[in-house]
Amino acid sequence: MSCLPQLRDELVMAAARLPDASAQTSPAPSAAPSPSSRRRQPWRAGGLSSRGRLLVNLLVVLATATAGLGAAGVFRRGTALGPETPASAGTAEGVALAGTVKLLALRAPDPAGGLPWGLRIVRTSRGLTCADVGRVDYGTVGVLGQDGTFGDDGKFHPLSPDFYDFLGCDATDAAGHAFVNVDLQQLPASGLWGGATRAAGGCQPAQLTSHHALAPALRSRAPTRSVCPAGDMREAYFGLLGPQARSITYVVPGGGTRTARLLAPYGAYLLVFREDAVPGNRTGTGSMGGPGVESGEILAITYADGHTCRVPVESLFESCPPVGFVAPRNPVPTARELATRIGVRLLPARRYCSDERSTVPCEGAVPRGYRSIPAGAAPSLLVRITFRAHAAVASSASFYETELRYAKSPGCDDQGANAPTDYDVRAGQIVVVDLLVPYSCPGPAQGWVEYVPASGATTSTPVIGLPGQGHPITAGRLRFHIP
């Protein structure tokens, strides 16, 4: 829509450059008319060539379309929406690689009308491909200034290249393909998922209660000021099924099924419904993402070789795994190559502060870049664990995991803790892991550090046991005593 004024101007200039058709077909006049008489001559469309008449007609159509768009309420462009924490090339999902941000030719109408929904893909510095859903305008995806977002300013706010949702980021295979499947529930019509953010505001889904799988993480993004209108809640299904996938069969709200072709070569699909119209209405059960297809709206996937994978209506696990994933040929280190000494240091304090990666005692002032851990937290002991990494972590395809287990005792309702390295690690680097352990679990505690390689299509979330992750390899063990 933003190209209409430019197109109009180009058409006007093209029409002005056309030769005068009447001067080419009529005998030359005996005397040239004066400038004043030329100005008084009426303009006649019949004097234009067929090309000129076509341009005039295009101008008329363009003017009509522009007026219609204005009447429909074309959005003005607002400030871009970026990540709350600046993206880092070697941390979490990484940063968008130049030239990889692409809006796919895939559109889904919004149930209430207005701008359609679209899908953008981007590759990142940590070997991931991220799929982002949003409203489409200005040749990109973004969020609308409604539902409390950006103060209901009525503008279109494009997503910055580094603004992507961790649910839609999965590993890119050796052939450059990705397998992403997301069931995004409790999505406001604004397009801003996950409740309010500090930068954009937003509304809180009414069903975001304690039983929601992601409730604590979403609430931590920012305090909410309003509840999302029930009629504005959407459920979006989107993903990339790979170059071998050809079509999906899905449930249509109101009854029946429908088969839709996928966008090649990505195997891309996008479905957007009113959340209260989705069969079964699973509002509040959590939003799912991963390389495989979860049970839900999609019933079946058909592939190029003719076989069909059918998804059970109710299943707790992925039942249609990625087809055609080409695993990278990354060497997996042995336990002997990984073996390292684990250091443990106990740092008791009355108050702790943390940033994105570390925790420190802060009896006095809060260090710059840190935040004080809420005083209401249970009394805890800071345990600092260090080890030398003998195998590098160069992408999200591997990580180190530190796990702790506490002794069983009365009043101890915590079994242990774990912490992954969600960042790149150099071979030979000293890795520091800070964990807070509860004083309510006194006695001997034990732990270990493991290296976890990817063996197939997997998400960006470093959690042992997720689909696509290989067998953990122990690098070292540790023991300490909780007073």
The pLDDT of residue 325 is 93
The pLDDT of residue 49 is 46
- In this structure, the answer to whether residues 272 and 147 fall within a common structural domain is yes
Residue 97 is assigned to a structural domain of this protein: no
Identify the domain containing residue 273 by its residue range. Answer: 102-310
pLDDT tens digit sequence for 376-420: 668 899 999 999 999 999 999 999 999 999 998 888 988 899 999
Residue 315 is assigned to a structural domain of this protein: no
- In this structure, the answer to whether residues 194 and 343 fall within a common structural domain is no
- In this structure, the answer to whether residues 138 and 281 fall within a common structural domain is yes
The pLDDT of residue 281 is 46
The pLDDT of residue 314 is 65
- In this structure, the answer to whether residues 113 and 259 fall within a common structural domain is yes
176-205 per-residue burial string, b: 16 or more CB within 10 A, e: under 16: ebbbbbbbbbbbbbbbbbbbbbeebbbbbb
- In this structure, the answer to whether residues 304 and 339 fall within a common structural domain is no
- In this structure, the answer to whether residues 151 and 212 fall within a common structural domain is yes
Residue 283 is assigned to a structural domain of this protein: yes
The pLDDT of residue 407 is 92
The pLDDT of residue 63 is 39
Q: Are 405 and 414 in contact (CB under 8 A)?
A: no
- The β-bridge partners of 124 are 96
The pLDDT of residue 406 is 95
pLDDT tens digit sequence for 321-351: 899 999 888 889 999 999 999 999 999 998 9
- In this structure, the answer to whether residues 163 and 48 fall within a common structural domain is no
Round to whole Å and give the CA distance between 402 and 400.
7
- In this structure, the answer to whether residues 20 and 159 fall within a common structural domain is no
- In this structure, the answer to whether residues 158 and 272 fall within a common structural domain is yes
The pLDDT of residue 28 is 34
- In this structure, the answer to whether residues 198 and 284 fall within a common structural domain is yes
Which of 186, 8, 26, 2 lies closest to 77 in space, CA to CA?
Answer: 2
Output the pTM of the full model.
Answer: 0.79
- In this structure, the answer to whether residues 306 and 351 fall within a common structural domain is no
Total domains, the chain = 3
The pLDDT of residue 345 is 97
Cis peptide before 291 (omega within 30 of 0): no
Beta-strand relationship, 298-303 and 245-251: antiparallel
The pLDDT of residue 195 is 61
Residue ranges in the chain modelled with pLDDT below 70: 1-74, 195-197, 207-225, 279-287, 313-318, 375-377
- In this structure, the answer to whether residues 272 and 393 fall within a common structural domain is no
